Amino acid sequence: MSVRQSLLAILDQGPCYGYQLRTEFDRRTGSTWPLNVGQIYNTLDRLERDGLVTRGDVDAQGHVYWQITDAGTAEVRDWWRSPVQRSAGSRDELAIKLAVAATLPGVDVAGVIQSQRLASTARLTSLQAASAADPEPESAEQLVRALVTDSMTFSVDAELRWLNHIEQRLAQHPARSMALELATGRPKRGRPGRAA
């Protein structure tokens, strides 16, 4: 999720102060990824450093209004035109956990999978209940909440299908043949030992 580009896109609509940006972000994402105000101000400081926003007027309550620069507007336009690149090498904690579990002797991989399946099923049930509570969005806020909830629902559903696939794949290999013993060779690089 790009907080940076999202905040820039909101600022492209007009000047806002920090807490206002937080509220606008929540409205546009269905309040599914809450941001704290500190994160917003840290992002604004980096955007200012990069020449994408400037500090504007201060109102009677002391709110500093941030304004987008021409360079910031150009970055927003580039963001809209660019597809989201999902890195093939991204570190998926669950995939790594299952890969390590499958290669260590004595780990109950089926138990690890079942534990995740139970948690994912509970998450899917919760998301489906949220979708059922708002069957037909009537406002922009309800629509964006439904879009984000749909995305999360599809992701959890895909995770459950993937867990079933992994379980079937691992069933084709005896656990003993998958276990990797620690390598006995010394790595060529590493931290030297301390002198006594």
**pLDDT tens, N- to C-terminus, the chain (196 residues):** 488 999 999 999 999 999 999 999 988 887 777 788 899 999 999 999 999 999 999 999 999 999 999 999 999 999 999 877 777 666 778 888 888 888 877 888 889 999 999 999 999 999 999 888 877 878 888 888 888 889 999 999 999 999 999 999 988 876 666 667 777 777 677 666 666 5
Class of the domain covering 3-80:
mainly alpha
Longest dimension (CA), the chain: 72
| Whole-number pLDDT of residue 121 | 96
Spatial separation of the C-alpha atoms in residues 140 and 28, rounded to whole Å = 8
Spatial separation of the C-alpha atoms in residues 178 and 104, rounded to whole Å = 8
Q: Residue 194 is inside which H or E element, if any?
A: none
**Domain-by-domain residue ranges, the chain?**
3-80, 93-178
